[in-house]
Amino acid sequence: MYEFVRGPLLWISFIVFIGGSLFRLLYMAMLAKKKDHTVYTYMSLKYGLRSILHWIIPFGSINMRQRPAFTIFSFAFHICLLFTPIFLLAHNVLWYESWGISWWTIPDWLADIMTVVVIIAGVFFFLRRRLRPEVRYVTSASDYALLIIAVAPFITGFLAYHQWLPYKAMLILHILAGEIMLMVIPFTRLDHMFFFWFTRAYMGSEFGAVRHVKDW
């Protein structure tokens, strides 16, 4: 089983992730132009970048300042979710063994902290969806499923690294969880990792260049 998830299934997950992402990006780009022929003509680099900058800085928008707890957990979650697997030493070793490439890594103790941050933030998002009526009203089963998919690689990786449960089983589950996450990104709302930038640039251009107001 380990050889399968470490070999063929890993390649399949990368192919689905890359191919699906390219398809979605091209499809949405064509769909946007089809629905609005002027969508690209008034896109402004200045106002688009201004909008993106304000929305990637913690508390850069009024909405963020009105929800401080959510803002803190959201930024911590996304930063750790992205950088932990990329700069984890164990993953770096696998990249080097497979393709002979490597880059800067973070120490294991820091990776542990960042992993725990992701898990705690995941619990916060789950409780928020359960306890806040306005959030629970717009929550569906798929939202919980996506949250589990996002957090599962960190839970299984943490358990495998510390060997609190059978190591081989946790390692296989960790690899599977990561591959599942990769494959569902292009076809679920996890694709906001790509479309956030375009959406913010579009809204920033419309509000700044057309309406001459701020969008934050």
Q: Does residue 215 lie within any of the structural domains?
A: no
Q: What is the CATH number of the domain that holds 204?
A: 1.20.950.20
Within 13 A of 153's CA, how many CA atoms are on the CB side? 20
In a domain, 43, yes or no: no
Structural domain count of the chain? 1
Query: For the chain, what percent of residues have pLDDT higher than 70?
Result: 100
Rounded Cα distance between 191 and 184, Å, is 9
Mean pLDDT confidence for 159-177: 93
Asked if 146 and 191 touch (Cβ cutoff 8 Å), the reply is no
* pLDDT value of position 211: 78
Q: Is the pLDDT of residue 45 over 90?
A: no
pLDDT of residue 146: 95
Residue ranges making up the domain that contains 7: 2-29+61-210
pLDDT of 95-121, one tens digit each? 887 778 888 899 999 999 999 999 999
Mean pLDDT, rounded, of the chain: 89
Residue 176 lies in a domain: yes
* 49 assigned to some structural domain: no
**Degrees, nearest 5: CA angle 98-22-57:** 90
34 within some domain: no
CA atoms in the 13 A half-sphere facing the CB of 184: 17
Say which residue, 189 or 41, is predicted with more confidence: 189
Residue 126 has pLDDT above 90, yes or no: yes
Q: Which residues pair with 106 in a beta bridge?
A: 88
Instruction: Give 55-94 pLDDT, tens digit per residue.
Output: 898 998 888 899 999 999 999 999 999 999 999 988 888 8
- Helix boundaries (H) for 163-208: 167-184, 192-205
CA-based angle 208:76:162, to the nearest 5? 155
- Tokens found for residue 41: 């003509």
CA distances (Å), origin 47, targets 50, 56, 210, 211: 5, 14, 10, 11
Residue 56 lies in a domain: no
Q: Is residue 54 part of a domain?
A: no
Residue with tokens 């309406």: 211
What does pTM read for this prediction?
A: 0.88
Q: Is position 197 within any domain? A: yes
**CA–CA distance, 184 with 30 (Å, rounded to integer):** 22
